[in-house]
Amino acid sequence: MVRRAVGQAIEADAGEHDFEQLFDDLDERLADREDDDFLDRPMSELVARICKDLGVTVDWSLWKDEDWALAESAARAKPPPGDAPGLDLTGDLTPAARPRAAGTPNWLSG
Protein backbone atom coordinates (compact mmCIF):
# COMPACT_ATOMS: atom_id res chain seq x y z
CA MET A 1 0.00 0.00 0.00
CA VAL A 2 2.83 2.39 0.85
CA ARG A 3 4.58 1.76 -2.46
CA ARG A 4 1.35 2.27 -4.39
CA ALA A 5 0.52 5.53 -2.59
CA VAL A 6 4.00 6.99 -2.98
CA GLY A 7 4.02 5.77 -6.56
CA GLN A 8 0.86 7.78 -7.20
CA ALA A 9 2.54 10.86 -5.73
CA ILE A 10 5.58 10.28 -7.95
CA GLU A 11 3.39 9.92 -11.04
CA ALA A 12 1.52 13.12 -10.17
CA ASP A 13 4.64 15.18 -9.44
CA ALA A 14 7.62 13.86 -11.39
CA GLY A 15 8.77 14.73 -14.86
CA GLU A 16 9.64 11.97 -17.29
CA HIS A 17 13.35 12.25 -16.59
CA ASP A 18 12.90 11.64 -12.85
CA PHE A 19 10.24 8.96 -13.03
CA GLU A 20 12.33 5.77 -13.17
CA GLN A 21 14.97 7.05 -10.74
CA LEU A 22 12.32 8.01 -8.18
CA PHE A 23 10.74 4.55 -8.37
CA ASP A 24 14.20 2.97 -7.94
CA ASP A 25 14.81 5.23 -4.91
CA LEU A 26 11.38 4.33 -3.52
CA ASP A 27 12.05 0.61 -3.81
CA GLU A 28 15.43 1.07 -2.14
CA ARG A 29 13.90 3.12 0.65
CA LEU A 30 11.25 0.45 1.31
CA ALA A 31 13.82 -2.36 1.24
CA ASP A 32 16.21 -0.55 3.60
CA ARG A 33 13.72 0.73 6.16
CA GLU A 34 15.40 1.09 9.52
CA ASP A 35 12.38 1.52 11.74
CA ASP A 36 11.10 -1.61 13.43
CA ASP A 37 7.71 0.05 13.81
CA PHE A 38 7.53 1.11 10.16
CA LEU A 39 4.33 -0.80 9.47
CA ASP A 40 2.76 0.38 12.73
CA ARG A 41 2.82 4.03 11.61
CA PRO A 42 -0.15 5.70 9.92
CA MET A 43 -0.03 5.63 6.12
CA SER A 44 -0.06 9.42 5.93
CA GLU A 45 3.13 9.58 7.99
CA LEU A 46 4.83 6.99 5.82
CA VAL A 47 3.76 8.68 2.60
CA ALA A 48 4.78 12.13 3.87
CA ARG A 49 8.16 10.92 5.11
CA ILE A 50 9.09 8.99 1.98
CA CYS A 51 7.87 11.71 -0.37
CA LYS A 52 9.86 14.30 1.56
CA ASP A 53 12.98 12.12 1.37
CA LEU A 54 12.47 11.70 -2.39
CA GLY A 55 11.71 15.38 -2.98
CA VAL A 56 8.20 14.61 -4.22
CA THR A 57 5.37 17.04 -3.55
CA VAL A 58 2.43 15.39 -1.83
CA ASP A 59 -1.05 16.04 -3.19
CA TRP A 60 -3.27 14.62 -0.43
CA SER A 61 -6.32 14.77 -2.68
CA LEU A 62 -4.92 11.75 -4.56
CA TRP A 63 -6.07 9.53 -1.70
CA LYS A 64 -9.26 11.25 -0.54
CA ASP A 65 -11.33 8.14 -1.34
CA GLU A 66 -8.84 5.54 -0.09
CA ASP A 67 -9.89 3.49 2.93
CA TRP A 68 -6.69 4.33 4.82
CA ALA A 69 -7.15 8.07 4.25
CA LEU A 70 -10.79 7.97 5.30
CA ALA A 71 -9.92 5.98 8.44
CA GLU A 72 -7.11 8.38 9.40
CA SER A 73 -9.34 11.35 8.67
CA ALA A 74 -12.04 10.00 10.95
CA ALA A 75 -9.53 9.19 13.68
CA ARG A 76 -8.02 12.70 13.60
CA ALA A 77 -11.30 14.54 13.33
CA LYS A 78 -13.11 13.90 16.57
CA PRO A 79 -15.39 16.92 16.58
CA PRO A 80 -17.26 17.99 19.67
CA PRO A 81 -20.90 16.89 19.80
CA GLY A 82 -22.95 18.73 17.20
CA ASP A 83 -19.88 19.66 15.10
CA ALA A 84 -19.93 17.53 11.96
CA PRO A 85 -16.92 18.45 9.77
CA GLY A 86 -14.12 15.94 9.40
CA LEU A 87 -10.58 16.34 8.15
CA ASP A 88 -10.60 17.61 4.58
CA LEU A 89 -8.13 15.54 2.57
CA THR A 90 -8.62 17.77 -0.46
CA GLY A 91 -7.02 20.80 1.17
CA ASP A 92 -3.44 21.64 2.04
CA LEU A 93 -2.37 18.80 4.28
CA THR A 94 1.35 19.04 3.87
CA PRO A 95 3.03 18.10 7.14
CA ALA A 96 3.53 21.78 7.98
CA ALA A 97 -0.14 22.62 7.36
CA ARG A 98 -1.68 19.73 9.30
CA PRO A 99 -2.32 20.03 13.00
CA ARG A 100 0.20 17.90 14.84
CA ALA A 101 -1.44 14.97 16.58
CA ALA A 102 -0.16 13.69 19.89
CA GLY A 103 2.67 11.28 19.28
CA THR A 104 3.36 12.54 15.76
CA PRO A 105 7.10 12.56 15.12
CA ASN A 106 8.77 15.96 14.74
CA TRP A 107 9.79 15.20 11.14
CA LEU A 108 6.11 15.12 10.18
CA SER A 109 5.28 18.49 11.65
CA GLY A 110 7.45 20.38 9.20
Percentage of the residues of the chain whose pLDDT score is greater than 70: 65
Residues 20-50 pLDDT 10s: 899 999 999 888 776 667 778 888 999 999 9
Residue 11's nearest CA partner among 48, 80, 46, 62 is 62
Residue-range domain boundaries for the chain: 2-109
- Name the nearest CA neighbour of 55 among 82, 15, 85, 92: 15
To the question of pTM greater than 0.85 for the whole model, the response is no
91: left (phi over 0), alpha (psi -120 to 50) or beta: beta
Helix axes 67-76, 43-54, angle to 10 degrees: 110
